[in-house]
Amino acid sequence: MKNWKKILCLTLVLAMCTTVGAVAASKLVVISAYLNHGITITYDGEVQTMYDANGNRVIPITFNGTTYLPVRAVSNMMDVDVEWDAANNTVVLGDAPVKPYELKRGTLYDGTEAKSFTVAGQNQTVGFKLLGRSISSDSYALFAVNGKDTLSFDVGHVDGTGTALLDLAIFLDDQYVKTYDITATQGIKHIDIDLDGASVVKLQFVGEAGYFSGEYGFFNLELK
């Protein structure tokens, strides 16, 4: 398994270096390598033929004594999800971080920049913040959850912001389901939402309009 992990790491480099359209020219390095038809790949004792996303056969590459395998082909062979995050020029293996596809009056933290928020003294670099309800509008986050059973997350008051009481309302496909009390003094609260076959989840702060109620952070998000 350690050898396969090493190969997967190497293929990430190759995949990103050869994606000319998605990577800035300053990051590209021209190399001289070999398509190595003499290498046989086996997995769990079975000989493997690797293909790209279009069904074309792909061949291992040899460069400076190291063999590079195409990341998508290896991932498919090992039944590991693989996605290309074009916005961040990143190959994502396994489960991608859970994040909302729409935020209103909120800030997303995806771990790719040197920024964070703090809840109950704990620094968080992945997740999102929502502003509490104000006189102008509600704040909310929308998630696409097709085919999943549960959305789980931790939520808490962002240190150093306003401290008013809020209600966090849960909607499944625009239907109200439940409300949770969220306060600045409760510390970190863990919430599990039974998705009940829904396609979209909405997390929305509700409460009396006319005041600013600080910020609340959401993190450790999981879809199961």
Give the count of beta carbons closer than 10 Å to the beta carbon of residue 62.
Answer: 15
User: In tens digits, what is the pLDDT along the chain, a chain of 224 residues?
Assistant: 444 444 444 444 444 444 444 445 568 899 999 999 999 999 999 999 988 888 899 999 999 999 999 888 888 888 888 877 776 778 878 777 788 999 998 999 988 778 999 999 999 999 999 987 655 567 899 999 987 899 999 999 999 988 777 889 999 999 999 999 888 888 999 999 999 999 999 999 876 555 556 899 999 999 98
Do 85 and 148 belong together in one domain?
Answer: no
Do 111 and 196 belong together in one domain?
Answer: yes
Q: What is the DSSP string of 204-224?
A: EEE--SSS---EEEEEEEEE-
Q: Is the dihedral of CA 29, 31, 34, 35 positive or negative?
A: positive
For residue 109, the domain's CATH number is 2.60.120.1060
Distance CA 75, CA 93 (A): 8
Do 121 and 75 belong together in one domain?
Answer: no
Quote the pTM value.
Answer: 0.64
Q: Which of 93, 122, 155 is the last residue of a domain?
A: 93
